[in-house]
Amino acid sequence: MLTNLTIKNYALIDELHVSFSTGLTIITGETGAGKSILLGGLSLVLGKRADLSHVKDNSKKCVIEATFDIAKYNLKSVFKTEDLDYESQTIIRREILPSGKSRAFINDTPVNLDSLQVLGERLLDIHSQHQTIQLTNDNFQFQVIDALAKNETILETYSASLKEFKHLKSELKTLQDKKNTAIKELDYHTFLLKELEEAKLVEGELESLEDEYETLNNVEEIKEKLSLSHSLMSNEDIGIITHLTELKNHFSKLSGYSNPYNSVFERIQSSLIELDDVFSEIENLQEQLEADPNRLEQVNAKLQIINNLLQKHTVSSIKELLQIKDELSSKVIETEGLDALISEKETAINTLKSKLIVEAESIRKNRITIIPKLSTQLESILATLGMPNAKFNIKIEPTHSFLNNGRDELQFLFSANKGGQFNELKKSASGGELSRIMLAIKSVLSKYMQLPTIMFDEIDTGVSGEISNKMATIMQQMSKTMQVFTITHLPQIAAKGDAHFKVFKEDVNNVTQTQLKQLNPNDRIVEIAQMLGGTDVSSSAIAHAKELLN
């Protein structure tokens, strides 16, 4: 419910702060006093787009702030979805800056207008003769029927099943598309995979093959160089080892004289050991080296295969080729296994489809059962509102499609006159009739679900005093379970309120301002007397006002 409203620098309002309570709240005032300004400010809180022309003083910020007690509204899931902090006392603030930029906040968290509208429509319902489009909307009509049918729990189950059903169908389509694409590519992938498998690639072998190729391809030159190297080291006359051995022998005798000679001797001895090792390695290389034209051909062929594959797959290493091989293998295996996955997904979809059908049937059964009761209640209320011949013909027809709220199509037909043809509401009811129908529907709904605060904006226009009294009684009954506001010009309705506010204009420092004042009991008598007889209040008008209030 709306508990507090603050408006600053909006239209003709300089600054306004008012608190509201439960029950039926009446708002009255002369035409042009500013009731529409109040509604305009509330509409901004609900997410309506801002207009700088509504700002009273363009040099200052315009602020509209509303506090709602939402403890009974079960809105925690909405706050979670919108990523907002839940507070049982929720404050919505709208600001229009001098620059024309608009900002919105929910519990001091900045939000966009979409989030504001999502929450706003669950907190406040502003209804006038010109705002009955909701009444002709299928979703709203289903909401009415399902509220009476107590379908809330099963609709939640159905909704969850439908969400999973759509998700599985999406996954199935993805698999089927994947299969179609994979089938087209399977032959090519298989060919590439076979080519890589036949190459028998080993990570790191490219470098060893290149070394082996260079060796085999230059075997004669290598032999020659190794032979010369062997002679340089081992020749009796000029060999390096021979001379170094002789040098070692000389320093062997000197090493005993002092440390410097011994140090040189140890270095010569160390070099000789290293040269002996090198000499042995050269001999090993000579023994291992031999010309092998066949092996050279094999190595060359393997290198050509590897280089062709590297070029073909635009990579630079065998490691990358092996990765491609694994990926191709996975694709081939995946393609071969897609049928099993598709079959598994189809089974799950069929199982869930059967569950959805059962749930939808249960929803339909509850709807069909409750329709006669809804028609009777609405027709009874409308009869008291001056529409004694109003009749409803509500039809539920099954459909094969899974809709968001079941598998039904709805025809909400209406006839206002005896013997008249049934037709869609928007084609068979006038604006005034639609307003009374909406009042009747909201009245019925208030008995079955927690409705948001509702504000009726002069929906009593054009009705008689007797009917307006019935309308007021209905609003009064509704206000026992919800907060109801009504803006009215009729004293019969104004007298039924638990609280009464008057909108009026006054001149402050030669500037016209709109004010909102809560009336005390004596003020109410005068206000209702003026509504009965004009500004010149007579004693009979006062008496009549007291009678209405009592």
Closest C-alpha among 487, 486, 485, 500 to residue 545:
500
Mapped onto helix, strand or coil, the DSSP state of residue 387 is coil
Closest C-alpha among 64, 60, 61, 26 to residue 45:
64
- 361 neighbors 390 (Cβ within 8 angstroms): no
Average pLDDT over residues 5-12: 91
Summary count for the chain: helices (H), strands (E): 17, 15
User: What's this model's pTM, rounded to 2 decimal places?
Assistant: 0.68
Average pLDDT over the chain reads: 87
pLDDT of residue 468: 86
Most confident of 31-35, 261-265, 312-316, 489-493: 489-493
Mapped onto helix, strand or coil, the DSSP state of residue 279 is helix
- 229 neighbors 368 (Cβ within 8 angstroms): no
pLDDT band of residue 209 (cuts 50, 70, 90) is confident
Question: Helix/strand/coil (H, E, C) string of 286-323?
Answer: HHHCCCCHHHHHHHHHHHHHHHHHHHHCCCCCHHHHHH
Residue length, the chain? Answer: 550
pLDDT of residue 18: 93
pLDDT of residue 230: 77
How many C-beta atoms lie closer than 10 Å to residue 162's C-beta? Answer: 20
pLDDT of residue 332: 72
CA–CA separation, 214 vs 296, rounded Å?
9
> pLDDT tens across 499-513, in order?
999 999 888 888 888
CA–CA separation, 486 vs 483, rounded Å?
10
Sheet order of strands, 484-487 included: 124-128, 453-457, 484-487, 24-28, 499-508, 511-518
Q: What is the dihedral of CA 537, 540, 544, 545, to 10 degrees?
A: 20
β-sheet bridge partners, residue 125:
454
- 253 neighbors 312 (Cβ within 8 angstroms): no
> pLDDT tens across 368-407, in order?
999 999 999 999 999 998 899 999 999 999 999 999 999 9
How many C-beta atoms lie closer than 10 Å to residue 186's C-beta? Answer: 15
CATH number of 1-123+452-519: 3.40.50.300
- CA distances (Å), 224 to each of 237, 280, 290, 475, in order? 20, 17, 12, 116
- 516 neighbors 38 (Cβ within 8 angstroms): yes
Q: What stretches of 454-520 show up as alpha helix (H) in DSSP?
A: 465-478, 491-494
> What residues have CB less than 8 Å from 359, skipping those under 6 apart?
154, 157, 158, 161
pLDDT band of residue 538 (cuts 50, 70, 90) is confident
CA–CA separation, 4 vs 65, rounded Å?
8
Closest C-alpha among 472, 454, 372, 479 to residue 134:
454
> pLDDT tens across 404-447, in order?
999 999 988 999 888 788 888 878 777 778 888 888 998 998 88
Question: Interhelix angle for 259-288 vs 219-234, to 10°?
Answer: 150
> pLDDT tens across 135-157, in order?
777 888 898 999 999 999 999 99
- CA distances (Å), 34 to each of 29, 41, 366, in order? 8, 11, 46
Show me where the domains of the chain are located: 1-123+452-519, 180-336
pLDDT of residue 129: 61
β-sheet bridge partners, residue 110:
105
Chain Cα centroid distance, residue 444: 33
pLDDT band of residue 498 (cuts 50, 70, 90) is very high
Of 44-48, 161-165, 516-520, the poorest mean pLDDT is in 44-48
pLDDT of residue 130: 57
Strand positions, DSSP E, 338-438:
391-403, 406-415, 423-424
How many C-beta atoms lie closer than 10 Å to residue 342's C-beta? Answer: 16
